[in-house]
Structure 1
């Protein structure tokens, strides 16, 4: 019997007043005195609850007597719960002939027209593959720690099975959460009251299978992939031979979520609990209390709906505050064995075989063991060793919750649930054939395959990618920025370009250009600053940092910057040998004193005639530091020198050259000779005088 004591009652006050005593209630003796019932202490469950034992009364009678005590909040039978893996689907195959299904892990891929219910984990993995800081607790039969695909993925956990016969490991509660096997023989059912009404069967390795689906090592070159990939798994053993008791399950839940240190502190509290277990009945006060504590502490609880072939959802999946998961076939219809009802939050693949005989075509592949009793060889489920049932739908959801919490750790259990539901894909309404009915509200009549509705199978089909995308931080815009030059010159415009900037799909964005100057630099935008391009005009040398900020319609921003070093442009200088030249003669033009600044050099010279081309022309090259201009006719010639520095910046200088007419000769004659013209006479006279002067100087 589970007894919960009132927090403000005399029994709890007395317990608190004696700190040296155990902090967990062992109050059977006190209750015996009060009720007159011979009670013995069982194990504690939480700081206010424990198990008590009595003989001679029915469970209902004992619960009523204990609940009447003023210090007791409630008392209820400690019921058995069972693993939910063996389906009674009418399409369960009669015999298997092939080991590996050709479809592989179909349920992790994007959905298509064949595998409608695939959860699209592949796409979710492009956003996150999970983080080791997120812990998913698997409350089940324990795990095989030596399975190669679980090595490095499991914390130590704890074994909460208090009954040694059920535990099947030689003792009760201990720190060993490994699965020793949970087989039950016919002889045990016939001879041991513990196994009365239990199903005969081989070891299930149920917890190992669930753990593999949640978080088996992935992309490690062996075995299988899991939904949660990098999330860590906390194994909490609460089920053994023929299942487990509520008291052990609830104690394990509270411990897994970090709410109890009994019997030891949990070093790795879980953010998600997976319970692939249950049995028929209404949600009990014990589960209601435990689940309320867990969700208030931020722990998400995922539970399989049950395999009751269309009957009502099991306990504890029908408790408020949990995420109850029903099972669907690959085509999206309810798989025959799945329970259904309004308590279901959503549905996920549960595995199904389609065929009545031969190899199962659509099982879920996961980690397991070949041992029929004690452990043997670690292996994987396949078309022969089947993993079918809502027990395996739940871990697909739990693993998805782990991915969601990996990208947004602050999610509350309510937010996890509502997001899973709001992103679920609609159930198909065709594809299974006209004879398949629509699912109805649960009654006493079983329902096999049927078309799901939101009142029977939850909000829709699990979509891992959509759920992760809905909670992931928005993808930031991109802001690729380029400038026409990184070394502009004063007065030379700079073109800024960001047309390749992007925002996330479905969003719009805005641009904003800003600048910051240093080293005396000045510059200003000569264009709008809210477009994908802009123009900057440097006006003084120094350093300018240009920043582009792209903001999407959700307010998410990305900024990119580029630094521009502004220098003065080069100086072009022309030094002519003369400002005047006679037509027919030439003048030298020297541009070698042109200069560049800022560590640059003159890289190119270009000489042109910008005016008066009919009065002069260049002799020789026009791409050197010097040039020669020949006058061709009287007039004015404007020569331009364009220099280009090593940064590609240009500057020009002009020089005006006057071309004068060449002298014109005159003369007459006839009779064999002609007279000298006046200029020649003057020149001749000057020469005679010069000769005489020189002679005189010689004589002197």
Structure 2
């Protein structure tokens, strides 16, 4: 399996930094040297810190009873001909056409052209999943949370990846049950929310539709109350890819896509980078949330988003702009729907604020966690059409089908990656269907001043001169980078 190669990795950035100061108008590439001192290489750090946190926010607005599922169906407007029959599909602006909502990923139209396949496995490396949820079908996974205190399930690692809840009370704080600095909170059901975005069942007259509704979900639990350990993340990544982990049975269902909607502030440690490299070599595409810290990843790195061989995903709003909470920078590969507090994204969860309730529920969430899940679903959709696609081919399809974002100086300077995710366009490129809209992105290096490259609903159809200059320089540097 070849190493991922696209023009926003750190080696390329260092080469771009050598180009004269005219590139300063595009991005502050020299800021990499100012990265904060954080865990780098010592494996002991990976075993003694508790920095891994989820990258999504749960809102206390949900629905569970069948009579409630259509109560707010008029909130969003779309053509019913494009919707699956899931009762809450009309609320899923994130999967609708980008001509209806600029920031949507256009999954529903992709479903019409091609479905998804249960043979494609997506690992949800997260807080665990409610395995009994009515809208989720999961493979046997594993719980890698190494302590009972964090796991909140009475034991350490075991073969039960279900989410027991990660709520924290004042009594927990006062008794010292949780680590110092851990705030009181309700259960997040974070992994269940991510699983629903990726692969909730569709056309089953139940709940929502997932971005790739027929894929097989592999739940891999690495976080619990107050977060998780980096070494648990490392082992979870390796196991997800079918690689051996000491003391754990080999995973019989290696994942083609590994979703990491979790992360921590700091550089990528050697142990984490090694796990990612090995998983990539084994055939897994790694997708990670860029983080909700609203920082420039070039100066304030977060891992695994800024690790090599990772697709780092920022969040966009329903209107298609970069979300104000989202990280940005030249490490970002794409943006995808992340929503906001006012336009959050409905997905699977549990109705309880503490231990799981028996009923299946749906609730609103937002964050870069959800954005990453959309890209994982998009990659899984492409693999369902052609299971032989390499990681490089997948990233190229996602890149070349994205919609350029030019509404802010951050995006114009390359801080939003190649643009917004559009799954339907990626499917059409893969299936050789002719694109007729002028927002289609030509392959890197094929853009010219006469080739229109716009975002839907944008004011100008012409590529901007700074963007053209950036792509020309990128093409030259990329050729050298990819040949190393």
TM-score class, shorter-chain normalisation, is 0.7 to 0.9
Q: What is the aligned partner in structure 2 of residue 264 from structure 1? A: 249
Q: What is the aligned partner in structure 2 of residue 425 from structure 1? A: 403
Q: What is the aligned partner in structure 2 of residue 249 from structure 1? A: 233
Instruction: Output one character per residue of 1:93-121: Cα deviation in whole Å (capped at 9) or x when no partner.
Output: 99999984712101111112x61111111
Q: What is the aligned partner in structure 2 of residue 393 from structure 1? A: 371
Q: What is the aligned partner in structure 2 of residue 334 from structure 1? A: 322
**8 Å contact from structure 2 (residues 149, 177) kept in 1:** no
Aligned pair partner of 1:464 in 412, 418, 423: 423
Give how far 1:174 is off: 0.5
**8 Å contact from structure 1 (residues 367, 378) kept in 2:** no
Q: What is the aligned partner in structure 1 of residue 351 from structure 2? A: 370
Question: Would the alpha carbon gap of residues 470 and 243 (structure 1) be closer, same or farther in structure 2, given more than 3 Å must change?
Answer: same
Q: How far apart, CA to CA, are the structure 2 residues paired with 1:348 and 1:409?
A: 23
Q: How far apart, CA to CA, are the structure 2 residues paired with 1:192 and 1:76?
A: 22
Q: How far apart, CA to CA, are the structure 1 residues paired with 2:115 and 2:377?
A: 10
Q: SS of the counterpart of 1:387?
A: strand
| 1:200 aligns to 2:184 (yes or no) | yes
Instruction: Output one character per residue of 1:157-200: Cα deviation in whole Å (capped at 9) or x when no partner.
Output: 01011111101111110010110000112332343274212222
Higher helix share: 2
Give how far 1:438 is off: 2.7
Q: How far apart, CA to CA, are the structure 2 residues paired with 1:376 and 1:203?
A: 11
Give how far 1:470 is off: 2.4
Q: What is the aligned partner in structure 1 of residue 303 from structure 2? A: 315
Q: How far apart, CA to CA, are the structure 1 residues paired with 2:216 and 2:404?
A: 31
**8 Å contact from structure 2 (residues 263, 303) kept in 1:** yes
**8 Å contact from structure 2 (residues 142, 221) kept in 1:** yes
Deviates more, 1:277-286 or 1:183-192: 183-192
Give how far 1:281 is off: 0.9
Q: How far apart, CA to CA, are the structure 1 residues paired with 2:414 and 2:149?
A: 41
Q: What is the aligned partner in structure 2 of residue 145 from structure 1? A: 131
Q: SS of the counterpart of 1:391?
A: helix
Q: How far apart, CA to CA, are the structure 2 residues paired with 1:376 and 1:188?
A: 21
| 1:293 aligns to 2:278 (yes or no) | yes
**8 Å contact from structure 1 (residues 303, 394) kept in 2:** yes
**8 Å contact from structure 1 (residues 364, 381) kept in 2:** no
**8 Å contact from structure 2 (residues 62, 362) kept in 1:** no
Q: What is the aligned partner in structure 2 of residue 184 from structure 1? A: 168
TM-score, length of structure 2 as denominator length: 0.72
Question: May I ask how many residue pairs the two structures share in their alignment?
Answer: 373
| 1:223 aligns to 2:207 (yes or no) | yes
What's the Cα RMSD here?
2.7
Q: What is the aligned partner in structure 2 of residue 346 from structure 1? A: 334
Q: Which has the higher contact order (CA 8 A, sep 6+)?
A: 2
Q: How far apart, CA to CA, are the structure 2 residues paired with 1:149 and 1:364?
A: 16
TM-score, length of structure 1 as denominator length: 0.50
Q: What is the aligned partner in structure 2 of residue 640 from structure 1? A: none
Q: How far apart, CA to CA, are the structure 1 residues paired with 2:62 and 2:361?
A: 15
| 1:133 aligns to 2:133 (yes or no) | no
Q: SS of the counterpart of 1:125?
A: helix
**8 Å contact from structure 1 (residues 203, 372) kept in 2:** yes
